Amino acid sequence: GAQVIGLDLRVRPSAMTIDALERIAALHGFVVFPNQTLPDCALVATSTFFGSGMLASLHTVHNDAVHDDIFRVSNDERHGIVGVGPQWHSDGATERRVFSHILFHAQRMPSGRGGGTAFADLAGAFAALPRRQQEDWSRLATVNAFSGAVHPLVITHPVTRRRSLFVHLGMVGAVIRWGPASANCGLRSSHYARLEAMEPGAGPFRDCGHEVLDESEARALLSSVDALLSQPEHSISWPYRVNGPTADLLLVDNLAAAHRATQEAHDTSGGLRILHRATVQGIWEVDPAAESQLPPFAYIWGDNPCGGNGLWEGSDHVGVGFRWNRSLRMQN
């Protein structure tokens, strides 16, 4: 993470400053702006400074939320949505163009150091892998358990051009492996390549050399990703600072840093936690590589298109996909 002091984000910065802030966020994962006063709906206006300038609101709106575009989370259901985001994820994974930026503004924080958000460096984590594992993971794509969006496990960040992981460990419905033979099957010239939502028949294709990982393989992979991102050298927890009407504002590059709520964030013993979040509509299509011949959406609600014992699982009633670790709480 990085920190910028002395900038009042109630006022729109110059285009040059906004570009610089977005580049800092892309390089460092997130930027902290201390002592920001953003009353009422001000976070909505501030969020439009970045990325596409349009907000994407796919969340539940709490009765106490000051605006429909503000996701109000808390450790007390009377004050916000509880239990949110305990696993590593990037927001907007249901979309082809996943959210570009996230803004968090603290409202109330428990005493001590509880209530923070953990962030993981997706490029640094990928760079730490052995080369053979990098190559293997670069031929994998996940299918979102709710929307069927197909995203590569490894992307090239559109700003830094660094190779990075892309994950939502709470919404994986399937994992697809593709090989060298996939490049020649011609799927990319079909209408499947232009999908903006899943439809019956869309998915991986056995004739294209696509293979769906079985449950044990998917569990091992997602457990490995979780362990990698949780290593201290790749992750950090930010304890939001609140001082009366002012508090930390965080600008997160959603493709550079995954995040999750810390365990203490859900605990009520230290006091009330309220955090406001706004998400910026995506700009870049996070599609599988062209040579994979995978479509941008697969029909996750049908049968496994490749047959066999591959894991192919639509989400449950709260949007959670494959529960790869039954000991972990999973909620979106």
- Of the pLDDT bands very low, low, confident and very high (cuts 50, 70, 90), residue 127 is very high
Q: Is residue 100 pLDDT above 60, yes or no?
A: yes
| pLDDT at position 187 | 63
In terms of average pLDDT, the best of 38-42, 141-145, 308-312 is 141-145
Q: Which of these CATH numbers, 3.40.605.10, 3.90.660.10, 3.40.50.300, 3.60.130.10, describes 2-115+238-280?
A: 3.60.130.10
Q: What is the mean pLDDT of residues 97-113?
A: 90
Mean model confidence pLDDT for the chain: 91
The fraction of the chain above a pLDDT of 90, given in percent, is 68
The domain ranges of the chain are: 2-115+238-280
Q: What is the mean pLDDT of residues 112-127?
A: 91
Q: What is the mean pLDDT of residues 133-141?
A: 97
Q: Higher pLDDT residue, 208 or 285?
A: 285
| pLDDT at position 188 | 56
Give the three-state DSSP class for 40. coil
Q: What is the mean pLDDT of residues 17-32?
A: 97
Among 55-69, 168-182, 242-256, which stretch is predicted with the lowest mean pLDDT? 55-69
| pLDDT at position 16 | 97
Neighbours of 290 (CB within 10 A): 10
The fraction of the chain above a pLDDT of 70, given in percent, is 97
Q: Is residue 269 pLDDT above 60, yes or no?
A: yes
Phi/psi-derived region of residue 35, left when phi > 0, alpha when psi is between -120 and 50, beta in every other case: left
Give the three-state DSSP class for 224. helix
Dump pLDDT digits (tens) for 220-257. Answer: 999 999 999 999 999 999 999 998 889 999 999 999 99
Tokens of 117: 């958000």
Dump pLDDT digits (tens) for 157-172. Answer: 999 999 999 999 999 9
| pLDDT at position 111 | 80
| pLDDT at position 39 | 87
Q: Which residue carries 């706004």 as its tokens? A: 278
Q: Higher pLDDT residue, 269 or 22?
A: 22
DSSP character at residue 193: G
| pLDDT at position 132 | 97
Q: Is residue 138 pLDDT above 70, yes or no?
A: yes
Using CA atoms, how far residue 90 sits from 8, 84, 332, in Å, is: 27, 13, 11
| Phi, psi angles (nearest 5°) of residue 278 | -130, 145
**pTM score:** 0.93
